Amino acid sequence: LSHTTLFRSAVQEKAGQISDQDIEDYYHNHTADYEEADLQRIFIPRSQTFPASKIKLSAGAEEKRRKDGEEVMRKEADKLRARALAGEDFAKLQEEAFTVAGLKTKPPSIKMGDVRRNSLPPAHASVMDLKTGEISPVLSDPSGYYTYKAGAKEVEPLDKVKEEIRGTLRTQRMQ
């Protein structure tokens, strides 16, 4: 065996020696990483989809139509959030968002299930700071607008994430 191979296996063996105490310490120092929230989300498309025009629109008219459609959806996002705050059903609001957008496709499910902070887009991670029952401000990204509602939150128990932490620590030590 080459020195490189021997060295690599020695490093891997050393990195793999992770005590239960190491795992517990990591878990307690990174509890927020293992918090899950049961989230609901309304997705509002950024722009309206228009049926094909019978008349060819000029580039200027096409651009105005697109901008107007985006403005309608931006305002719709705020209206839907206000209605969510008033207690309206998220599934009904999601359907309305797609109707206003002119989409005939079935809207996505509002139920995201239990979600961790690291599985959300970075710009949406703040929803993990909501208290149960709270509704987020309207969040925006290139695809559209989002409003979240936080459900029950809990931290996954150590025994459920032990192997995941072991893998994280092994990777960190290898590097």
Contact 138, 77 (CB under 8 A): yes
Torsion on CA atoms 147, 152, 157, 163, rounded to nearest 10: -30
User: How does DSSP assign 5-23, residue by residue?
Assistant: HHHHHHHHHHHT---HHHH
Q: Per-residue pLDDT for 11 more than 80?
A: no
pLDDT of residue 159: 86
- pLDDT tens-digit profile of 140-172? 999 999 999 999 988 888 888 888 888 888 888
Please choose, from the candidates 110, 128, 111, the residue with its C-alpha nearest in 3D space to the C-alpha of residue 119: 128
Q: Rounded to an integer, what distance in angstroms lies between the CA atom of residue 42 and that of residue 145? A: 8
pLDDT of residue 31: 85
- pLDDT tens-digit profile of 103-135? 999 999 999 999 998 899 999 999 999 999 999
For range 11-30, the mean pLDDT: 78
Cβ partners under 8 Å of residue 174, min gap 6: 11, 12, 15
Q: Per-residue pLDDT for 8 more than 80?
A: no
Q: 94 by DSSP, 3-state: which?
A: helix
Mean pLDDT of the chain: 88
pLDDT of residue 16: 63
Both tokens assigned to 105: 């496709």
Cβ partners under 8 Å of residue 132, min gap 6: 150, 151, 152, 153
Report residue 25's pLDDT band, with 50, 70 and 90 as the boundaries. confident
Instruction: List the single range of 11-20, 72-81, 90-99 with lowest mean pLDDT.
Output: 11-20
Both tokens assigned to 163: 């192997």
